[in-house]
Amino acid sequence: MQQLKAKLTFGMVAAAVTLAGCSTAPPKNAEDLCEIFREKPQWHTAALDMQAKWGVPIPVPFAMMYQESSYRHDAKPPKNYLLWFIPWGRVSSAYGYAQAKDEVWGDYERENGHNASRDNFEDALDFMGWYMSKAQVLNGTSKWDAYGQYLNYHEGWGGYRRQTYQSKAWLMRTAEIVRERAARYTAQYNQCQAQLM
């Protein structure tokens, strides 16, 4: 009996270690796009695929993803509380690298004809390329305009059109942070792009 118990315990520990190894940790230096790609070359491959498919410049969705999830595959919005202490769901259905909500993720899957996972980096980045491409078509927001693209992303295409962000000074400040990060990422990527190929 003791031997069986020891084997089961060992098996459970081994399974836990294996599963922990499967989850993708955020990059060690998320402030430098070149370092991100050196650490995670498969992310660079996904970025090149997204750029080829949607025509979106690589640094812009990366700056937005940094802001939305800090590159955490299982990022979720904060919980709501009933009577200040009883957990009562989350403030939205946003989830994963891209913090995509259920409804718009469903639209993306339908339009692109495949099931995708919000905690899969390649799927999340492709979603962002799709979303930004539609923001350009629907609202005329350049794919290079990190500020405008982030406002589209946060408020939705209709909210952006109605300029709902105008009453949210905090959001416009955040969009400016995203714009600045995209500019830094662009300068960094211009320095290392040839070496990464």
| The pair of three-digit structure tokens given for residue 145, joined into one six-digit string | 């305009």
pLDDT for 167 equals: 98
Q: From CA 189, how far away is CA 48, in angstroms rounded? A: 12
Q: Which class would CATH give 28-196?
A: mainly alpha
Task: Answer yes or no: are the C-beta atoms of 44 and 196 closer than 8 Å.
Answer: yes
Task: Answer yes or no: are the C-beta atoms of 136 and 115 closer than 8 Å.
Answer: no
Backbone angles phi, psi at 33, to 5 degrees: -60, -35
* pTM across the whole model: 0.82
- Is the dihedral angle over the CA atoms 64, 65, 69, 70 positive or is it negative? negative
Q: Residue 14 pLDDT > 50, yes or no?
A: no
Specify the higher pLDDT residue, 105 or 82: 105
Helices (H), 56-120: 59-69, 102-112
Task: Answer yes or no: are the C-beta atoms of 96 and 119 closer than 8 Å.
Answer: yes
Rounded to an integer, the average pLDDT of 115-125 is 92
Banded model confidence at residue 74, pLDDT cuts 50, 70, 90: confident
Q: Which residues contact 171 (CB under 8 A, 6 or more apart)?
A: 151, 154, 155, 165
pLDDT tens for 52-70 read 999 999 999 999 999 999 8
CA 192, 40, 24: angle at the middle one, nearest 5? 155
Q: Residue 121 pLDDT > 50, yes or no?
A: yes
Residue 189: CB atoms within 10 Å: 21
Rounded to an integer, the average pLDDT of 104-111 is 93
Domain ranges of the chain: 28-196
pLDDT for 2 equals: 60
pLDDT for 21 equals: 37
Q: Residue 117 pLDDT > 90, yes or no?
A: no
For residue 87, the one-letter residue type is P
- Say what percent of the chain tops pLDDT 90: 66
pLDDT for 88 equals: 44
Q: From CA 67, how far away is CA 84, in angstroms rounded? A: 27
Q: From CA 70, how far away is CA 92, in angstroms rounded? A: 18
- Write the CA distances from 106 to 30, 101, 115, 116, 177, integer angstroms: 29, 9, 9, 9, 29
Q: From CA 1, how far away is CA 176, in angstroms rounded? A: 63
Specify the higher pLDDT residue, 104 or 168: 168
Q: Residue holding tokens 């909500």?
A: 101
Rounded to an integer, the average pLDDT of 12-16 is 45
Entry field: residues in the chain: 197
